[in-house]
Amino acid sequence: MEISQEKAIKILHENCSLDWELSLYRDHIIVALPVAEGDFRTTYLNVKKQITKCIDEHFPDRNEELLFEIRNGSWNCGFKIKQAIG
C-alpha cells in the first residue's frame, strides 16, 4: 500500500517542477531546489504556493497532513499541508 508521502512525491514529479530533487526522510518530503537563489524567502514562498496548489488539485482525498521541507543551498524552511476534510 502506497503511503501519502510517496503518493505526494509521485504527484509532484508528474505535475510540478521536474528540476526539484524530491525525497522522503521519515515523515517529511524533502524538496531540494537545484540552484541557490539570492532571495530564499521569495523562492520558498513561490515553491510552497506551487506545491500546495498541485497537492490540492491532484490529491484532494489525502487522509493525513503532509510535511514539507524546502532546501536551497544552506537555507531550509518547512511547512505542512493539512489533511483533507470530508
Is residue 82 in some structural domain?
A: no
CB atoms within 10 A of CB 62: 18
Which domain CATH number covers 60? 3.30.70
Q: pLDDT (tens digit, 9 = 90+) per residue, 2-41?
A: 689 999 999 999 998 778 899 999 999 999 998 766 788 8
Is residue 19 in some structural domain?
A: yes
Is residue 46 in some structural domain?
A: yes
User: Which residue type, as a one-letter code, is found at position 72?
Assistant: N
Q: Does residue 86 register a pLDDT over 70? A: no
Is residue 60 in some structural domain?
A: yes
Q: pLDDT (tens digit, 9 = 90+) per residue, 30-69?
A: 999 987 667 888 889 999 999 999 999 999 999 899 999 9
Say which DSSP state 85 is in: P
Q: Please, are residues 5 and 66 in contact by the beta-carbon 8 Å criterion?
A: yes
Work out the angle between the directed axes of helices 4-15 and 40-58 (0-180°, nearest 10).
110
Say which DSSP state 46 is in: H
* Domain extent at residue 30: 4-77
pLDDT of 1 reads 47
Is residue 83 in some structural domain?
A: no
Is residue 33 in some structural domain?
A: yes
pLDDT of 85 reads 75
